Structure 1
Amino acid sequence: MAPRASWKGYLKLSLVSCPVRLYPATSSKDRITFNQLHKDTHNRINMKPVDPELGLVERSDLVKGYQYEDKKYVILDKEDIDSVKIESNHTMNIEAFVDEGSVDSIYLDAPYYLAPDGAMAEETFIVLREAMREAGKVAIARLVLSSRERVITIGAHEDGMFVCTLRNPNEVRGTGEYFGDIPDEKPDAEMLKMAEALIAQKTTEFDPADYEDRYEKALMTMIKEKLKGHKPVIAAAPERGNVVNLMDALKASLSETKPPAKSKSKPAAKTRSAKKKTG
């Protein structure tokens, strides 16, 4: 069964457009999750809406409200929200192109896959995809998701396209509060050279299969042991080492560091976009 699209509409560049479908690129369904239970009955707890004056209320009685002053709200119903129509409700209108990798990673939010919606859209979709791939560019467009407009990047990715929603600038905190007290000075030249050598020794190709979630794995092992009626074995965290001189630590690290081992997992098939970032 084909996955369900999160959004359907048109990808548009000037007078060129084609119908497309947007799909979430990630899933958290395999993560370990917990339910809240009563400690005695082990019944699952239901979260119900409560009015401070009326007590429990039905969800059908809930409405959306925007607080414009303290404890004062303007009420919005579905018709009000649906009446706010802008072009990006159903169209990804490409406004500009930028170099791949030029969007600061701090703005990157949620990833999606973009595919043509039907055979008639494939030719136009492929032309736009390959034009961006050859130019090394990603498109900047806008899209309405979950009742809010999002700025997005669109780039070539394998046989399809990759979309990433961007955080609004007012959602990103400035760095001054956090980096303002870091001294602006040059590091020791010899230590810098040794640190660069250490980086070179540990440089490899990134394969996400090499970095499994060790906490999730240990958590599942503990859960399985409890299901068997065994007392779970708690792994002790490594002790913090003594503080050592930075120069000595760099020298010791260089002498002990070995080139990263290649992944034992089956290598992923190479794609045409493997040499380029996806935006």
Structure 2
Amino acid sequence: MAPRANWKGFLRLSLVTCPVALYPATSESEKISFNQLNRATGHRIKYLKVDADTGDEVPNEDIVKGYELEKGQYIEVSKAELEEIALESTRTIEIDEFVDRTDIDPRYLIRPYYLRPDGKIGHDAFAVIRETIREMDKVAIGRVVLTSREHIIALEPRDKGLIGTLLRYPYEVRDPAEYFDEIQDDKVTKDMLDLARHIVNQKAGRFEPEKFEDQYETALIDLINQKRAGKPITPKARPRGENVVDLMDALRKSVGGAAAETTAAKPAKKTKKAAAGQKEMLMPIAGKKAAKEAAAKKSTAKPQRKSA
């Protein structure tokens, strides 16, 4: 089942309008997460909203927003006042312009969403907008209000729907000069570049996300399973960074190492680490994602008919 929509409203291109819903395209809920506990009792830690001066707990109905003008001096802003400045983009994504994809600096990208028609009407208008963007090979730029703030949103076709990527405003992007100006402008020789290019060519490939494993998530699962089984936890040696004395020598050795990796036989497909070495455990954890997939398979499995 698809998650609940983060936003519902209308998508408009000039006079063409259709109802749409915006859904998160990514999720981190499958990752291992921890609760904070009281070491002495083992009980969960609970956070209370308290008055900073009196220390008394404050109920939600008595909490208002405030902007700090000076230290300890605030201007209160009510929910009703915030609703008074509601923008049109609160309910409508108005397409303002179309740009080339290469015009969007990667630093401005925040997060992706799926955009689809909301309900049974407006599918034809949605298709017109989607196919126009696809045909022109452009990115549509509009605005949308999420979590009480207006964002720029870039819309691109994806299958039968649209991908909407939130963008930052210029004031949110830091000036690279603050970080890069002090980098030494060292000249790189042609021999060094040739060796480096050779390494790149040996490692060239296509980006396939499924090839990458979240090693930290796997290590967390292993850690929890070992502690659950009562096994001792032995710290692993940390990798050490070494100073490069001879850059040309390091590049030549890297060329040899890359060649060895390329010619080496591919190892057999590994099973999930979460299951390794856990035969003695009755209920090893496999991570939230694996548990969710197993539950889905179980619910879709057809019961076998008993023979007479």
TM-score band (shorter)? 0.7 to 0.9
Aligned to 1:54: 54
**1:185–1:73 CA distance, 2 compared to 1 (3 A):** same
TM-score by length of 2: 0.80
**Shift of residue 263, structure 1, vs aligned partner:** 11
Aligned to 1:276: none
Aligned to 2:40: 40
Give the AA of the match of 2:192.
M
Distance 2:269 2:14 in 1: 47
Gaps of 5+ in 2: 271-308
Distance 2:115 2:197 in 1: 39
TM-score by length of 1: 0.88
State the SS of the aligned residue for 2:68: strand
**Shift of residue 159, structure 1, vs aligned partner:** 2.1
Any conservation in 2 of the 1:21–1:116 contact (CA below 8 Å)? yes
**Shift of residue 202, structure 1, vs aligned partner:** 1.1
State the SS of the aligned residue for 2:198: helix
**1:59–1:96 CA distance, 2 compared to 1 (3 A):** same
Q: Deviations over 1:56-111 (max 9, x none)?
A: 22233211111233322221222111111211011111111111232111111121
Greater Rg by CA:
2
Q: Deviations over 1:95-139 (max 9, x none)?
A: 111112321111111211111112322222222222222322111
* 2:8 paired with 1:8: yes
- Identity percentage over the alignment? 44
| Stretch of structure 1 that moved more, 189-198 or 12-21 | 189-198
Give the AA of the match of 2:46.
N
Distance 2:193 2:14 in 1: 50
Aligned to 1:274: none
Give the AA of the match of 1:100.
R
State the SS of the aligned residue for 1:139: strand
Any conservation in 1 of the 2:151–2:166 contact (CA below 8 Å)? yes
Distance 2:155 2:267 in 1: 32
Aligned to 1:161: 162
**Shift of residue 232, structure 1, vs aligned partner:** 2.1
Any conservation in 2 of the 1:207–1:263 contact (CA below 8 Å)? no
**1:102–1:200 CA distance, 2 compared to 1 (3 A):** farther
**Shift of residue 264, structure 1, vs aligned partner:** 6.4
Structure with a larger share of its residues in strand? 1
Any conservation in 1 of the 2:9–2:21 contact (CA below 8 Å)? yes
Aligned to 1:273: none
* 2:206 paired with 1:196: no
Taking the TM superposition and a 5 Å limit, the aligned residue runs for 1:33-112 are 33-57=33-57, 58-112=59-113
Aligned to 1:31: 31
Give the AA of the match of 1:115.
R
State the SS of the aligned residue for 1:51: coil
Give the AA of the match of 1:175.
P
Aligned to 1:138: 139
**Shift of residue 262, structure 1, vs aligned partner:** 11
Give the AA of the match of 1:102.
D
State the SS of the aligned residue for 1:21: strand
State the SS of the aligned residue for 2:102: coil
Distance 2:267 2:158 in 1: 25
Give the AA of the match of 1:161.
L
State the SS of the aligned residue for 1:129: helix
**1:211–1:176 CA distance, 2 compared to 1 (3 A):** same
**1:228–1:176 CA distance, 2 compared to 1 (3 A):** same
Give the AA of the match of 1:14.
S
Distance 1:53 1:240 in 2: 48
Give the AA of the match of 1:6.
N
Q: Deviations over 1:6-34 (max 9, x none)?
A: 00111111111111100011111111111
Distance 1:173 1:35 in 2: 34
Any conservation in 1 of the 2:244–2:250 contact (CA below 8 Å)? no
**1:191–1:218 CA distance, 2 compared to 1 (3 A):** same
* 2:38 paired with 1:21: no
Cα RMSD of the aligned pairs, angstroms, is 2.2
**1:233–1:130 CA distance, 2 compared to 1 (3 A):** farther
| Stretch of structure 1 that moved more, 232-241 or 40-49 | 232-241
Give the AA of the match of 1:194.
L
Any conservation in 2 of the 1:99–1:137 contact (CA below 8 Å)? yes
Gaps of 5+ in 1: 266-279
